[in-house]
Structure 1
Amino acid sequence: MPCFTSSRRQALLSALSAGLLGLAAAPLAQAADAWPSKPLRIVVGFPAGSSPDLTARALAEPLEKALGQPVIVDNRAGAGGNIGADAVAKATDGHTIGLMINGNLTIAKMINPAVRYDPLKDFAPVSLVGVAPLVLVAPAGAAGDDAPSFFNAARAAGKRWSYGSPGVGTVGHIGMELLKSRSGIAPVHVPYPGYPQVFNAIVAGDLQLSMLPPALANAQIKAGKLRGIGVTSSGRSTLVPELPSLADAGVKGYNLEIWNAVAAPATMPKAHVEKLAAAVSAIVRTPEMRQRLFQQGWQPVGSSPEALANRIQGDAQVLGGIIRAQRISAE
């Protein structure tokens, strides 16, 4: 019987352990490589033709090529995207993911406790797709020659001014309440069914200001129907390069963006999430996809799951603070 020294025996044991670990890891790696094994479904909580829907459909074809399986966009519209988000959170087939907006992944349950999923517990973050600022707009003939003088006029007007949003608890609503807390202005909130109605009310002179998505705001500013005051991001945006940020206009520490992202059910295996994240991030960073997203009004990102998780936590903390302070509720 061979006789081994203690060092030789330890080396053999280490080699044996490494071999066993390799054998154990092989099925896991093979399982990740074999996924997806059937068509992948992207749930969108908004109707066909909406911004999240257009983004999901732009991702579908290159994702099919990257993963080797058909990718189907499934519209589950309603409740500000929460019906679709709930469907993703409760999916158990291992092949359902969601293209969601930031409200679905951060503050949905803070705004409405009746929401049936927990944004911070029921999802596995995959990848941030695109970000965009909102644009603070006013009627074309609004007071003041620049952003600081406009804010002076708004502070002097107090509650005689009003602002519109596409509903209680939307980013346009909470973003304006955040602006009020940081700038000393005090316009009264008037909720509308959607952004088109908000725009019509501003043009008609029924509202003095609002925060609109850049694609909508830009077209109307260029047409002379609205006046752009500033963007809500921390610095200037390539989507609206001619406007200053609100922070540059004197609203210290103001930074708010809308975004969309891919997320999976929290039960999806980590290896599958990482494979999906690598594919989505790579697609978003291609010149073709960057151009498509920019045309849709997004600054393309493409991120790791960890970066998206950090974004979710940070936004939930900031917006949650405003929700609690102002007792905002969509119940």
Structure 2
Amino acid sequence: MLPMPTSRLPRRAALVTLAALCAAAPAMAQNSAPWPSKPLRIVVGFPAGSSPDLTARALAEPLEKALGQPVIVDNRVGAGGNIGADAVAKATDGHTIGLMINGNMTIARLLNPAVRYDPLKDFAPVSLVGVAPLVLVAPAGGATAGGDAKSFFDAARAADNKWSYGSPGVGTVGHIGMELLKSRAGIAPVHVPYPGYPQVATAMVAGDLQLSMLPPALASAQIKAGKLRGIGVTSSGRSTLAPELLSLAEAGVKNFNLEIWNAVAAPASMPKAHVEKLAAAVSAIVRTPEMRQRLFQQGWQAVGSSPEALANRIQADAQVLGGIIRAQRISAQ
């Protein structure tokens, strides 16, 4: 009787294990190798001198020191930041990240189905950098002059669709935010799109519009000059960017909270360990007194969050703003 080949099964198992280890070796090496191993690129979907660009450049130098590699800002301009966002989503070099605004990371595809990336699937959230409310403003004179915030909203309701509001374009936060306010406050002003916030402010001062939402720096300058009247900020509470103004929630608009924000994100393909290392560096930088002051001068309240907190913010904003987009059938195509 021939002996049983007792060594065959263990040998086969060993070969299978060896093959699996060989296949996994590149991934293990990638995760264990020092990172970053070459210059890091921050893609910005807006031109030099824009708010996202200034924030990215403010982060670049301290990030270089923290990570030990050069950090290069790469402006990929167009489509409201979506061209840059798409470049980040598709990057496979392991050293490309993005400094993006909330619209690019939440509602881009809801506004335009032709957008080639999925904001909720194609990014690895890194850190929320800065937040800011918008300021609801009205002309200092005319039909909106005098009275408190309650009187203003009473007048807006009485005016029905005879009032109009401006925004920097269809699908912008200034547009969707006003549509959200209309649903929450029971008012019905008509939308008039403009090329940008400066043009909206000019039309407001001229009395061509009865209300609009403007960034705090622009709104505060016009309010201090006596040309516009501040009704309230769109955040849930008061803001250090416009401390003299009530929040719209305090002014009687229930369940209203709207902020613009910017954040650092990586491609979803970036290894989790690299994302966590990057997040720790970015959040620590943003929370330093020097960076807080620099962001404040740019019109932002510094945050410096964890990836999980940014992911929660993305989901919450996408749900609220997405609901308005669907209800009002807003399209940026």
TM-score (norm 2): 0.90
Code of the residue aligned with 2:236 in structure 1: it is S
Distance in 1 (CA, whole Å) between partners of 2:160 and 2:220 is 27
Q: Take 1:307 and 1:233, find their aligned partners in 2: how far apart are those partners?
A: 18
Deviation, 1:144, is 3.7
Q: Secondary structure at the match of 1:34?
A: coil
Corresponding residue of 1:7 = none
Displacement of 1:77 in angstroms is: 1.1
Query: Aligned residue for 1:192?
Result: 194
Structure 1 distance, partners of 2:146, 2:102, is 33
Given the alignment, which residue of 253, 256, 259 partners 1:257?
259
Say if 1:32 and 1:59 are closer, same or farther in 2 by CA, change over 3 A.
farther
**Alignment of structure 1 residues 1-331 onto 2, 5 Å:** 31=31, 34-141=34-141, 142-331=144-333
Distance 1:186 1:223 in 2: 28
Distance apart, 1:140 and its partner CA: 1.3
Give 3-state SS (helix, strand or coil) of 1:227's partner: strand
SS in 2 for 1:110: helix
Quote the offset at 1:311 in angstroms.
0.3
User: Aligned pair in 2 of structure 1 residues 28, 313: CA closer, same or farther (>3 Å)?
Assistant: same
State the alpha-carbon separation in 1 of the partners of residues 146 and 223 from structure 2. 16
Which sections of structure 2, spanning at least 5 residues, go unmatched?
1-23
* 1:64 partner amino acid: E
What is the alpha-carbon distance in structure 2 between the residues aligned to residue 110 and residue 318 of structure 1? Answer: 12
Identity of matched residues, %: 90
* Secondary structure at the counterpart of residue 159 of structure 1: helix
Deviation digits for residues 50-95 of structure 1 (CA, Å, limit 9, x no counterpart): 0000000000000000000000000111111101001100111110
Inter-partner Cα distance in structure 1 for 2:32 and 2:255:
43
For residues 18-50 of structure 1, what are the alpha-carbon distances to aligned partners after superposition, in whole Å with 9 as ceiling and x for unaligned? xxxxxx99x959945610000000000000000
Q: 1:152 to 1:29 in 2, by over 3 A?
A: farther
Q: Deviations along 1:112-149, whole A, 9 cap, x unmatched?
A: 00111100000000000000100001111123411110
Give unmatched runs, 5+ long, in structure 1: 1-23
Aligned length: 307
Q: One-letter code of the match for 2:197? A: Y
CA contact (8 A) 1:129 1:300 kept: yes
On the 8 A contact 2:139/2:145 being kept in 1, the answer is no
Q: Distance in 2 between matches of 1:33 and 1:298?
A: 36
